[in-house]
Structures are given as C-alpha cells and as structure tokens.
Structure 1
C-alpha cells in the first residue's frame, strides 16, 4: 500500500490484533499494545534467538498490558522464554515493563542515558508539583486555568506506569553492534525526541528498527521539560536526521514504535527535516509580535489543541522557540506576568 502524497509505502495494510502477532520477516514478530492517550498504541517486536526471544520495547506497566503480554507469551511466542529486553529509549511506553521482564529472568539492554533517566525518574515520586516545575510552566506562558489545575492535582509520576528497574543492565553504544534474531545490527543513536535514542540497522537484510526516531506519518514529539529548560531538542533532532540519512535506502523495511512498518526511508528523513524547517519559518513569522511559547500553537500544529494534547503541545512549542533563540533568530525578554516572550529580530 502506498501513500499517494508522500510516496512512502506500507507493505502491511493493518496492524496485528490485540494479543496476536504478524510475522514481518523471518523470525521477527510484530505486536501492538494499547496506550491510554491520543496516540493509542505502541509497536513491540519479538526476535527469535533460537531457544529464546529478544523483545524490543515493552509498553506501559499496567494490569491490562500484563494480561496482553501473557496472551502473547502463551500464544504466538509459546514455548520459548524472553531472555532479553532491548529498549530503544526511556519513555514509559517503551520501558514500562522492562523491570517486570527482568524479574522473570530477562536481561536488559539499552543506552546509558536512557537507563539513567528511567531509573532516576522511577525513584523520583512527587505527590505535588514542585515550585520549580510550576515556575517553568509560568515562564512558558501556560494557560492560567491549566496552571491552576497542575498546581493542585497530583502530577504524573514515571512510576505510575513503569516498573522499577534493577541495578544492572547492558549498555548499547553508538557505533557498536548487537546480535539479535540471527542478525548483526549496527547501533546508531538518534536524539531530540529522547536523549541517546537507539536505532538498529541489520547488516544481513533490509530491516531497520527505528523506535520513535523513525516514524512514517507522524512527527515524534520534541519537548523541553523543567529538568533542562534551556534545551534545544529541535536542533538535536535535525542533526540526528542529517547523521542518519546516509545510511537510509529505499528498500529498507522500517519497524517504528508507532503506526505501520514502512519503506522509503530516504524520503521520510527528508520530510522530517523539511517539516521542522517549515514549522520554524511559520513560527518566526508569527513572532513578528512578541509571544510566549504557549501562544505559538497556531503556526506549529495543523489541528486544534484540546486538553488531552495541551501538555505535549506546550513542551513542543517551547522546543521550537528555544531553537530560534539559540540560533540567534529571536530575542527574549520576561513579560510582566512572568512569561518569557520571544520576538523575531
């Protein structure tokens, strides 16, 4: 199946049903787990290591997700244990059940930064929003009603949907390689969506495991958070796309963290670069008048932003104004209400 606009091709018309698997290459199973959000699923993959499985990413830690895993383990994966979990990056929908698999005898392989982030965040439980976090949102120009809600509600905690991680793991290193499913994979790190995001490129056939770094029809969220308020994930993302582009070929089957597996990776990387440059150009025009990040949704997003998407939209807006600021295209000053406002030079 082809996307008539972009030329990106989708060899599989539909995803696997819940609790079932699709064989997408010899010894490679594609499965899908639900998420309780607008992006309502995450893709997971199991690769046959002969006497056991390696699982790529795990889904949220929840009772319902564990039940689906038990169905998968007793169905399409029956007869062999999961001996290794490979996690592409530290976000909860990818690392959520890694600790659960380790408790059941698996080892864990992931990038060092991702492991440190996940372990730190599972240990950092907050019953109320810290003053530093609320100040960050105020400086971003968060909607006052949303800021008031976050001031009173218990904040999201990583441990709400991620099982604790044991002390030990195996580090994935940029430029290294790993043996999975009878193949040798080159490890190449991306950045921007998550620090040190692992992607895997098979030397033996045309498979690429892209996680959220290489997605076919949606843009990975590039967000700035209170932990690093001056970060420039947009710059990191663009640099990663340029760095990965030389390894892309038209015949590679890309197994992403969401949506359908696809081919046409060179074009897709070009699109991802151009999409952000276009968004930055629209934003720069929008900033002919001084505006806070929370007042910059219109030029960045092609849809209305509701309450469910507001948080991700805000951190992405901060990322884009930060990029313009760090590249010297806008100035910044603090408004009387305590929000940073940006204006084109």
Structure 2
C-alpha cells in the first residue's frame, strides 16, 4: 500500500542501475517501453505522487496491468488515456499484481465499464475482499492488544481506533468474480507469452509478469528501484514471518528471471539491473537484522528498536508503518532462533537476543 521507510541501508552504496527513459508520462500520456507495451501513470496522494500502470496491446484493445487508486482523479486520468494514447480502444482484461488500493482500486470500474474480467491471484482477491469488509467497523479488541503489546501509548491507540476501517475507501466495488493467476502460469497477452512469477511478504500472493520475448518484467511492488517495499506484520496474523517470505521471494525471482530484463516497477522509473537491485535489497535487510540482533542484548519493546532500523524520526504518521516493519524483523529473528519474546504483566512484549 505504501513504500517502506528508508532504513540505514541507505548508508551503503546503491547499485548502479540504469534508467533508459529520459521522461516519464504525465497523466493522460503514455510512453512506449516495448512494441505493444505502454507506460502510463495515475495520480496518488502523498510522497509517491503517482503509480505506474501498463497497457499491453491485445488484438483491437488493451490488457491493463494495475489500475490506480479509486477516485475522481484516477477516473479522469483513465478517461484522458483512452481519449489519447489508448486510441479509444476497449480494455480486454485487467491484470492486478496485488490487492493494495493503489493497484486494485479502479479494477471494478474498468471491468464493469468494458465488461471484461479481472485476472489476479486467489489470495490477493480474497484478502482484498476481507479487508474491504472492515470499512466503517470499529477497531477489534485483538488489534488493540496487538499494538499495546508493541509499546503504543493510549494516545497512539486512540488514533488507531479513529482511523481504523479506511482500507476499502480507496477501492471501487470489486468485481464479483475473477480469473485466477498461479505461479508459473504462461499466459498469452497480445502477441507474446508472459509468465506469472509469484512472491509474498509485501502482500500475500503478489504476481509479477515476465515476458521472455520482450525481455520485460512488470514487477509491481515486489522490486522497486529506489525504495524498499513495505514488509509488515499485522494483527490479522501476528505470528507470521513476512520478511522471510519476502527475502525468499527475491531470491526466487533472481533464479527465474534473467538480469537482462527491463524492469517495469509500480513506482519510480523503469530500470535495468534487476539482479544487482535484488542483491542490494536482500543484503540491506540482512544487515538490518544483524544490527537488530546486536541491539537486543538488552530487552526492548518494538517501539524501542525504531532507531536501529530507520534513519528518520518516527512520528505519529509513520508509527503504524514502523511498527509493522519492526515486528516483521523481530519475527524473522525469532524464526531463526536469534531472539525470544516475553509479555509482561501490562501486556507489553519484550524482545531479547538468545544467548
């Protein structure tokens, strides 16, 4: 849903990626990235500013990959795109990499407008529908206990209660059915075959699309060139280990997708240098885990480890994100047998490195 908080890996040298396109498209414009493949952008609020979406020519229409956040600005952006670079041609089907609102937000609008089908992995579809049902609900007691255990004070808990239930507000009503994507599927889209490469950690069953003929990989949020994807633990599955899932997924991508692809990410610009970027992301998180293990020589709460993992000050706007990412790192250490957790009489968890 959001990019991760930049961590102390920024202090290390970044890989020298190359960016072949001098200019990014404005809303309503498109850049040709390969024969029959167009790069478009839809507006987002916040620091990211926009999301990249992709149009693949398919017969007398376009297959769309990712859709933007639901809202008037995005709808107007799509209308401008159809009136301009998409030449008024219909959408044949909608592919969504994963269920975060900036990716799936307009899928319902597009599929209804063009009477076409949504293609997505099963876990992303059902998870999205489940979270959308929370819209307007009060925060559940289990979530309050989860964040209290992380060291949140009463003010932070009150703010969480006030903001809870907003996930579905960025999503147009979802289609009532979908076509399931599976890892390893080979799908003909237009003139070329694309392979589904599934990863997890950032989301449950994220689908990237790799085209061997065109040497392209639509990476969604699984691989981004300038920011690290948010990998967080949430109250719905408090014993999960999403960071291990994510690191495993990155290694899996390196094994399956060659380094000569042009990567088409959801944020920032298309780039070359996939394997170097994967190595940097994996190495950065491994260094963070090592720092964290050293810091746990003395018991610490989740909120006590922010300075170990993040360079920037964590304010109330970043508290939830920082907590989720810190818990993901702590659960990864626990899974490796490098840390233990103990809850005190006040319901707060304390983490300590194993001897």
Shift of 1:126: 3.4
Long gaps (5+) in structure 1: none
Map 1:325-340 onto structure 2 (within 5 A). 325-340=334-349
TM-score of the two chains, using structure 1 as the length reference = 0.95
TM-score of the two chains, using structure 2 as the length reference = 0.92
Please name the residue that 1:49 is paired with. 58
Please name the residue that 1:121 is paired with. 131
Q: Distance in 2 between matches of 1:321 and 1:273?
A: 16
Q: Does 1:140 align with 2:154?
A: no
Shift of 1:296: 1.3
Please name the residue that 2:20 is paired with. 11
Q: Does 1:196 align with 2:235?
A: no
Of 196, 217, 231, 1:187 maps to 196
Partner of 2:317, secondary structure, is helix
Between the two proteins, the alignment pairs up a number of residues equal to 341
Shift of 1:5: 4.3
- CA pair 118-5 structure 1, distance change in 2 beyond 3 A: closer
Please name the residue that 1:110 is paired with. 120
Shift of 1:305: 2.4
- CA pair 143-254 structure 1, distance change in 2 beyond 3 A: farther
Q: Does 1:171 align with 2:174?
A: no
Please name the residue that 1:234 is paired with. 243
For CA contacts below 8 A with separation 6 or more, give which structure has more relative contact order.
2
CA-atom RMSD in angstroms: 1.5
Q: Does 1:220 align with 2:229?
A: yes
Please name the residue that 1:322 is paired with. 331
Q: Is contact 1:33-1:65 (8 Å) kept?
A: yes
Shift of 1:77: 0.9
Q: Distance in 2 between matches of 1:292 and 1:41?
A: 35
Q: Is contact 2:220-2:264 (8 Å) kept?
A: yes
Of 89, 96, 107, 1:87 maps to 96
Output one character per residue of 1:200-229: Cα deviation in whole Å (capped at 9) or x when no partner.
Answer: 111212101111111111110001111101
Of 298, 308, 311, 1:289 maps to 298
Of 288, 309, 315, 1:300 maps to 309
Q: Extract structure 1 runs of 4+ deviating beyond 3 A.
A: none
Q: Is contact 1:119-1:164 (8 Å) kept?
A: no
Shift of 1:124: 3.0
Q: Does 1:254 align with 2:263?
A: yes
Shift of 1:337: 3.1
Q: Using the TM superposition, name which of 248-257 and 216-225 deviates more.
A: 248-257
Q: Distance in 1 between matches of 2:68 and 2:152?
A: 30
Please name the residue that 2:276 is paired with. 267
- CA pair 37-308 structure 1, distance change in 2 beyond 3 A: farther
Partner of 1:6, secondary structure, is coil
Q: Using the TM superposition, name which of 76-85 and 30-39 deviates more.
A: 30-39
Q: Does 1:37 align with 2:51?
A: no
